[in-house]
Amino acid sequence: MSIVEVKVPQLSESVAEATMLTWKKKAGEAVAIDEILIEIETDKVVLEVPAPAAGVLAEIVAGDGATVVADQLIAKIDTAGKASAAAPAAAPAASAPAAAPVAAAAATGGSKSDVAMPAAAKLLADNNLKIGDVAGSGKDGRVTKGDVLGAVAAGATAKPAPAAVVPVAAARPALAQVAAPVSAPDLGDRPEQRVPMSRLRARIAERLLQSQGTNAILTTFNEVNMAPVMEMRKKFQDAFTKEHGVKIGFMSFFVKAAVHALKKFPVLNASVDGNDILYHGYFDIGIAVGSPRGLVVPILRNADQMSFADIEKKIAEYGKKAQEGKLGIEEMTGGTFSISNGGTFGSMLSTPIINPPQSAILGVHATKDRAVVENGQIVVRPMNYLAMSYDHRIIDGREAVLGLVAMKEALEDPSRLLFDI
């Protein structure tokens, strides 16, 4: 037997722990070299753990949901072993979200009504019961939590299933699931589901509270006529796409306009460090991106040196990585100013929260036709409402308002961006 250890990859200096997600292989199954065995979630990114060698997954040391640290042993691979015909189950989950309603008819040959609500499904599993062991009283015969509790009280329990062969010391749960109380009321057709926060979601919550608690946040607003930008995009879109292989979006204009304003008012690009103000001589712009696991903010490094095409390509790359959960820690570390585009989801106005340790953030919204007054006449223009939240500890209203006006002017006359005026 030749054993190769599988360990947690190195984490960022600011990340102390990570959470195991779901093993993609069971103990006893064959694995190929570089095959992804499990994903590990930190408070910033999700890391893939590939198999360091081909062979058989001999042992899972840290199960689903376990809390782990960098370089910790999580599994062993036997490079000389052969896969067993009936591989034992993977290590039990230390903390996993309640499953969606379980349809057992397909697996058991039961009727269409053989369905358990999420809380009921968990109780069934906890008591080693099958869905057919409990009569359902919910809508369409669904098995509710109350049905399972009643069956358990009546003695309809089976013998406990043998535990998976995993060292006891390996189970170190990250987020212990709250057990359902025995006296829980029957919710009937009003099901509830208790799901632990992911590390990313918990970190987002922590940082938002930190921002609200430590920054003196104020927000200033302005409106922008987006017609000049839209006309420029329309005029050059085909040639731009043919030349660079990517379309011109609004975000590249917003990034360019933001950098333009930050150069005029450097304090908007600064941050608080104790009793000092740290002025940054570079422009690393964070772009808020939605992902299945929550909001992430990858960074455009040296945005002032990037072309429109560079910005559009990098944003597209970050968007794809965010959806696939493949953003790296280094891609989300740092940043001197952020932009959040709620308009993607239809937002008309918002007050964005500063992303610490930054001191300002720009919120952009949906562009809609609005009736506005120009030269005493009511006309229809595509308007976008900008909102810039700033830390009033170091940024006065004058710099904040004039900075937002500089962005507005750059967007309403994009040629200013060419001549830096």
Report, as residue numbers or ranges, the catalytic residues: 392, 396
CA distances from 371 to 137, 232, 383 (A): 57, 22, 9
Residue 161 · residue 128 · CB < 8 Å: yes
Q: What are phi and psi of 276, to 5 degrees?
A: -110, 155
Cis peptide before 352 (omega within 30 of 0): no
Tokens of 130: 């099958």
What interhelical angle do 145-153 and 118-126 show, nearest 10? 30
Tokens of 313: 């390509």
How far is it, in rounded angstroms, from Cα 138 to Cα 117? 9
> Which DSSP letter does residue 268 get?
G
Residue 63 · residue 43 · CB < 8 Å: no
Show the CA angle centred on residue 112, arms to residues 106 and 118, nearest 5°. 80
* Helix, strand or coil, per DSSP, at residue 224: strand
- Other Cβ atoms closer than 10 A to 371: 9
> Which DSSP letter does residue 58 get?
E
Distance of CA 59 to the CA centre of its chain: 30
Amino acid at residue number 194: R
How far is it, in rounded angstroms, from Cα 419 to Cα 398? 24
End-to-end distance of the chain based on CA atoms, in angstroms?
71
